[in-house]
Amino acid sequence: GINVVTPNKKAYSGDVQLWKDILEASSSQGGGRYLNEATVGAGLPVISTLKELLGTGDKIIKIEGVFSGTMSYIFNEFSTGREGGPAFSAVVGVAREKGYTEPHPADDLNGFDVARKLTILSRIISSFPTSSPSTLPPLQSFKSVKTASLIPPELEGIPTGDEFLARLPAHDAQFAKLREEASKEGKVLRFVGVVDVKGGEVRAGLEKYPTTHPFATSLGGSDNIIMFHTERYSPRPLIIQGAGAGAAVTAMGVLGDVLKLV
């Protein structure tokens, strides 16, 4: 019977039984509402837009986007579509200095933050009777998302961020090779998340996009950008973009949810 507003992703992307318990508690007589706009995109209207699309009868074909402000910054700086550029480890180091990464950069490079956000969106889609969730795999938790970590296998389990950054330069060549291959194709590298309802797949990982694509041309700093491909918004998707991290915009997302309860 208590309304809950939170930017915390854990309850909505962890064990599926907890998610089902939340739905049941909210739908029961006298149950409280749960509002979690800030769990995906901070203050960006991502969850509210998804719920309005589904609530008005639209069908989601695919959602794809750059959901991590940290990954956005790293690859905006690292991969521009031009030949050459800074070393991957150097970009990660600057991102850490600017406060874009967690104290341990591996906590961003493992892709789990994106996987949690995709789990939240996927579960929202499956909770609407008008959607077509049958093609989506059942996500027992965010660990069910097909996530391609950017942590080199040799650096898995390193206990401190300082040691991780000290050893990351040894792997710069492999990231530079990926950038070179993309630039030769006229493309950039971006760490994206995809909820492919039609294809029945939820995945997060590094993908290549043409230099003319919005993921290449529209992003700056630590911006997020999310595309909704739906029956209504097709072939041109509905696009939401803007700052997806930071205290001010996260507070905006939380306060916006509180105001919905007034």
In the chain the beta strands, taken as DSSP E runs, fall at: 4-5, 34-35, 60-66, 146-147, 187-196, 201-210, 223-230, 238-243
Residue 129 three-state SS: coil
Mean pLDDT of 245-260: 92
Predicted confidence at residue 98, as pLDDT, reads 86
Rounded to two decimals, what is the model's pTM?
0.93
Predicted confidence at residue 130, as pLDDT, reads 67
For the stretch 136-181, pLDDT in tens is 777 899 999 999 999 999 999 999 999 999 999 999 999 999 999 9
* 117 is a catalytic site residue: yes
For the stretch 19-78, pLDDT in tens is 999 999 998 888 899 999 999 999 999 999 999 999 999 999 999 999 999 999 999 999
- Which residue among the candidates 117, 146, 177, 260 is catalytic per the annotation? 117
Residue 187 three-state SS: strand
Place of tokens 């064990």: 15
Q: Distance between CA atoms of 15 and 64, rounded to whole angstroms?
A: 23
Q: Distance between CA atoms of 60 and 53, rounded to whole angstroms?
A: 8
Which domains does the chain show, CATH number per domain?
41-245 (3.30.360.10)
DSSP class per residue in 101-123: S-SSTHHHHT-HHHHHHHHHHHH
The yes-or-no verdict on residue 83 having pLDDT over 70 is: yes
Q: Distance between CA atoms of 225 and 219, rounded to whole angstroms?
A: 7
Q: Distance between CA atoms of 20 and 17, rounded to whole angstroms?
A: 5
Predicted confidence at residue 246, as pLDDT, reads 82
Binding residues for L-homoserine: 102
For the stretch 84-132, pLDDT in tens is 899 999 999 999 998 888 899 999 999 999 999 999 999 999 888 766 5
Predicted confidence at residue 138, as pLDDT, reads 76
The rounded mean pLDDT for the chain is 92
Here the tokens at position 17 are: 């039984």
- DSSP-derived letter for residue 29 is T
Q: Residue 7, CB half-sphere, CA atoms under 13 Å: how many?
A: 19
Predicted confidence at residue 132, as pLDDT, reads 57
Predicted confidence at residue 134, as pLDDT, reads 60
For the stretch 221-249, pLDDT in tens is 889 999 999 999 999 999 999 998 888 99
- Amino acid at residue number 259: L
